[in-house]
Amino acid sequence: MGKRLKSNARKSAVNRLVKKTDNRIKEEERVIRTPKEDEQALKLVHAPKISSAMFMKYNTQLGPPFHVIVDTNFVNFAVKNRIDMFQGLMDCLYAKTIVYATDCVLAELEKVRKFKIALKVLKDPRVQRLKCEHKGTYADDCLVQRVTQHKCYIVATCDRDLKRRIRKIPGVPIMYIVNHRFSIERMPDAYGAPMN
């Protein structure tokens, strides 16, 4: 009786290994799958068009005066690290910079009370305000959308998820804070950036 159980166990193990769609199974027992329209549609991959500003993987629209678009946590970390944002940008890029803040970024800072100083920094007349024409106040989606449309911005953020999303967009430099100073990545000839 023990031998019969072992042989049945072997047969069931073999049956589990062979799939129902395998050609070795008789046609009556074989399951034939037809390709669905969804699967065929997924096979067609459309690559996004590369911007005309890109030349040899570098963005030619980047140049002095630099246009830096800031995120909420970048301004907050600059305040925590006691870095003057405008002077820090000059020290990092060695050129004049124009700082931009979207309505979404300002709305996020207004929601939280402990970011009052960061909000005062963005209310400075040297910061230009960009109007948002979308629903909601989620700044990350707004920044990614704006950067994909216009390749002239440097994105200043300390958020890991936003950095990961922006790294997928070719030709957009990312500025962040490291060792109590600003640093930049993916910028051609980034002389001011400290080496990591």
* Residue owning tokens 């910079």: 97
Average pLDDT of the chain is 79
Rounded mean pLDDT, 81-89:
91
Q: Are 157 and 142 in contact (CB under 8 A)?
A: no
Contact call for residues 106 and 120 (beta carbons, < 8 A)? no
Average confidence (pLDDT) over 127-144:
86
Q: How confident is the model at residue 102, as a pLDDT?
A: 92
CA angle 73, 92, 183 (to 5 degrees): 50
Q: What is the pLDDT of residue 2?
A: 58
Distances (CA, A) of 131 to 46, 101, 112, 142: 31, 9, 21, 10
**pTM of structure:** 0.67
pLDDT of residue 45: 56
Q: Which CATH architecture has domain 66-185?
A: 3-Layer(aba) Sandwich (3.40)
Contact in structure between 61 and 92 (CB atoms under 8 Å): no
Which carries the bigger pLDDT value, residue 154 or residue 192? 154
* CA 33 – CA 55 distance, rounded (Å): 46
If one compares 161 and 59, the residue with the highest pLDDT of the two is 161
23: pLDDT strictly greater than 80: no
| Diameter of the chain measured on Cα atoms | 90
Q: How far is CA 115 from CA 71, 80, 105, 122, in A?
A: 13, 10, 12, 11
In the prediction, which pLDDT does 191 show? 46
Domain extents in the chain: 66-185
Residue 98 reports pLDDT greater than 90: yes
What whole-number distance in Å separates Cα of residue 62 and Cα of residue 175?
14
Q: What is the pLDDT of residue 156?
A: 93
In which band, very low, low, confident or very high, does the pLDDT at 139 lie, cut at 50, 70 and 90?
confident
What is the residue type of 66? F
Q: Which residue has the tokens 């979404």?
A: 104
Residues 6+ apart with CB under 8 A from 54: 60, 151, 170, 171
pLDDT tens digits for range 167-187: 888 888 899 999 888 988 877
Which of 158, 139, 132 minimizes the C-alpha distance to 76? Answer: 158
**pLDDT at 24 exceeding the cut of 80:** no
